[in-house]
Amino acid sequence: MFAYWRQGFTVLVLVLAGSVWAPASRAGTEAAPIDTATIEKNRKANEACFACHSAAGIKNPPKADLDLANKLKDSRLEPALFNPADHGVMDCRQCHAGNHYDPYPHAEVGKNETAPCTECHAAKVMRLEPQFNASVHAKNEGLKEKFTCNTCHNAHENIVALRLKDPHKIVAQDNHGCLECHNSDLTFAKFAPDGEKTPGVKRKRPDIDTIHDWLPNTKLHWNAVRCVECHTPEVAAKKMLSHEILDKEKAEKKCVTCHSANSTLKVRLYRHMAKDEQQRLGFTNSVILSNSYVIGATRHPVLDGIVIGLVILTLAGMLAHGAIRIVAALRRKGNKEQAK
Ligand code: HEC
Ligand code: HEC
Ligand code: HEC
Ligand code: HEC
Ligand code: HEC
Ligand code: HEC
Ligand code: HEC
């Protein structure tokens, strides 16, 4: 409850500030980069938390009788995952209620006071929120309250695509966010609304591979493209990915959207790769080639010319061959008739 109040208050303050300081306040509403000395300091401070909140801590607790193996069995916290992540430069306490968690056992009061994204990313949240609110997950009553930014964004592990760069890593991270629910009956049921036919009984999870069986090599596609490639509207290359997950009727089904020289993947999955990288070796979309060979999208003008030339020659050859055979057959027929 307090978190909502705080979120509302932050937005209010920012809106008021924005109306007075309009152009200057923009930069101030976004988390600024953190300098190296502060990063060092934060990482040192986090060691106190990792003393318990890590595999090493669970194995070797700072005090006896903590039963960490049981109490922290579902936790994935790990310095090796946290430190390189987007928020790995921060002190845990910046999001987790100041010094509230320093003593252990942690007090009940103050738990669940995790700072909302708006507190540090107000400008981005303001831009994304209309899209987020229009998406299938937010439009669905019952799902709305439970579906928040950190349903998809793991605050401890995620690395923004712009920094990940490698398309395979981006695909793995972003699809994991969707499949965590869409590939698990257990998690899906926690979020699913009641079915139309039998109220009280949760709607069944549609099997992801079955729904997409029209897509050849379905499993291969899951490793090469993101769900959001087909389930969100396209945006200009410089804008943030749209957070509007469209109704299933509006999802992309046309193969040429990706498998063509003008592939949509250029402004989606491959948008963070430099232009020259995209055109390396004279191939159109060579970046796709260096990661995988996307039929139709990975092209080379000279090779294309040679292939088209070969096709024309083959066709011409076939036509000539056919014509000669027809003429020959007619001649033979004519000869036979003459012989009668
Ligand atoms: C002595 C071991 C220990 C240390 C040190 C420790 N924690 Fe914890 N923490 C736990 C255990 C065990 C839990 C599981 C729930 C519980 O027992 O409160 C937990 C739970 C949490 C939770 C989840 C609370 C909830 O709502 O369920 C957060 C957040 C947290 N710790 C943050 C921190 C931060 C931040 C630090 C460092 C400032 C820290 N902890 C240091 C042992 C520790
Ligand atoms: C950018 C903000 C942010 C930072 C920094 C952060 N966390 Fe969290 N943490 C979250 C959010 C968001 C959740 C999910 C809370 C929820 O679902 O209600 C969470 C959940 C947790 C939980 C409970 C779930 C779990 O994974 O076990 C623990 C424990 C925890 N954080 C510990 C830490 C520790 C230790 C650090 C520092 C190494 C840290 N957090 C840094 C935002 C943050
Ligand atoms: C207490 C402040 C704080 C909170 C709360 C917070 N962040 Fe961040 N976030 C930061 C900082 C600081 C950075 C790193 C900025 C840098 O290094 O340039 C960052 C970086 C990021 C990045 C990568 C860079 C970018 O802006 O695109 C993403 C994505 C992000 N945060 C998403 C979230 C989401 C989603 C939430 C809510 C679950 C959240 N953050 C909550 C402070 C915060
Ligand atoms: C349905 C899953 C989902 C939800 C919910 C979600 N996001 Fe995202 N978000 C993504 C995906 C996928 C990306 C693309 C990965 C990337 O660019 O790093 C992304 C990217 C981002 C980025 C980086 C964009 C850029 O180009 O710099 C920010 C910032 C962000 N989300 C913030 C938020 C905030 C704030 C919320 C809550 C209002 C939110 N997200 C809710 C899935 C989600
Ligand atoms: C926390 C769980 C969860 C996550 C994460 C999640 N979804 Fe969903 N999604 C659901 C549930 C539950 C439904 C069912 C809603 C319904 O049946 O009305 C749904 C429905 C959908 C639908 C069907 C919409 C329609 O028109 O019926 C699509 C498409 C979809 N999700 C795509 C995605 C994509 C893409 C991602 C990742 C960016 C994602 N989801 C992440 C839980 C989730
Ligand atoms: C190549 C494009 C494409 C990709 C990639 C893709 N989808 Fe879809 N998806 C579609 C289309 C098109 C439909 C509508 C299918 C139909 O109606 O026959 C759909 C339907 C769905 C539905 C609706 C199921 C239902 O009937 O209620 C969900 C949920 C869904 N997709 C989730 C996902 C998830 C999760 C991923 C990532 C693992 C993903 N999709 C990747 C194109 C795609
Ligand atoms: C969202 C973009 C996207 C859409 C839409 C899409 N594909 Fe793909 N497809 C890819 C990518 C990327 C690969 C590259 C996989 C690799 O080799 O790593 C691929 C690979 C393939 C392959 C396998 C090539 C191989 O190396 O074995 C076939 C076949 C294929 N797609 C056919 C189709 C067909 C048919 C459709 C339409 C029903 C379709 N694709 C729609 C992006 C897409």
pLDDT in tens, 316-331: 777 777 777 877 787 7
Cα separation, 268 vs 64, in Å, equals 51
Compute, in angstroms, the gap from residue 233 CA to the centroid of ligand 7.
Answer: 19
Provide residues with CB under 6 Å of ligand 1: 48-49, 51-53, 62, 66, 68, 71-72, 92-93, 96, 101-102, 104-106, 111-112
Say what the pTM is.
0.85
Closest residue by Cα to residue 52 from 78, 80, 86: 78
Query: What is the model's pLDDT at position 92?
Result: 97
Is there a cis peptide before residue 105, judged by omega within 30 degrees of 0? yes
Paired strand residues for 150: none
Provide residues with CB under 6 Å of ligand 6: 175, 178-179, 182, 206, 208, 211-212, 215, 221-222, 225, 227, 229-231, 248, 251-253
User: Alpha carbon of 71 to those of 65, 76, 99, 277: distances in Å?
Assistant: 11, 12, 21, 48
Residues of the chain with pLDDT under 50: 1-3, 8-28, 281-283, 289-290
Confirm if 42 and 89 have CB atoms less than 8 A apart: yes
Confirm if 95 and 114 have CB atoms less than 8 A apart: yes
Query: What is the model's pLDDT at position 190?
Result: 87
Cα separation, 206 vs 226, in Å, equals 18
Query: What is the model's pLDDT at position 311?
Result: 61
